[in-house]
Structure 1
Amino acid sequence: MFESLKKKFSRTSDKLEEELIEEAQEENNLEEESGKKFSFFSFGKKDNKEKEPENSDVAEIPQEVESLSEEKVLEESDEEVMEESEAESLDDSEEEKSKKSHFWSRNKNKETSENDDENESKSHFWSRNKDNSDEEEETPDDEEEPSGMFSFITAKTISEKHLEDILWELEMGLLEGDVAMEVASEVVDSVKDDLVGRKIKRSNDITEYTYNALKNAVSEIINIPGKSMTEMIEAKKAQGEPLVVMFVGINGTGKTTTIGKLANYYLKKGYTPVIAAADTFRAGAIEQVKYHADNVGVKLIKHQKGSDPAAVAFDAVEHAKAQGKELVLIDTAGRMQTNTNLMDEMKKIKRVAKPDLVVFVGDALTGNDATQQASKFNEAIDIDGVILTKADADSKGGASLSIGYVIKKPILFLGMGQEYDDIREYDADWMLNQLFSENEEETD
Structure 2
Amino acid sequence: MTADLPEMSAFKDMHVGLFDLDGLFCHKLMQGRKAAKLADKGYSFCDVIHAWDSAEVQWDDHRTYIDRPAKIHTDTLRRWPFGPDAGLMIADFTGDYGVLSPRNQAARQLDKAAAMGFEVTAAFEYEFFLLAETPDSLRAKNYRDLDHFAKNNRTYSLQSAAAHGDLFDGLRAVMETLDIGLDSLHTELGPGCFEAPLAVAKGLKAADDAALFRNFARAYFARQGLTSVFMSKLDPGLSGQSGHFHISLHKDGPAFSDPAAPDGLSQTAHAFLAGLLQLMPEMLVLTAQTVNAYKRLVPGAWAPTWASWGVQNRTCAVRIVNDTPEATRIEFRVPAADSNPHAVMALCLAAGLHGIEQGLTPPPPTTGSAYDVTPEPAQRFPRDLIEAADRLEASTTARQLLGDTFVDHWVRSRRFEVQDYLRHVSDWEIKRYIELF
* TM-score over 0.5 for the pair: no
Higher-helix-fraction structure: 1
Q: TM-score, normalised by structure 1?
A: 0.21
Bigger radius of gyration, 1 or 2? Answer: 1
Q: TM-score, normalised by structure 2?
A: 0.21
Higher-strand-fraction structure: 2
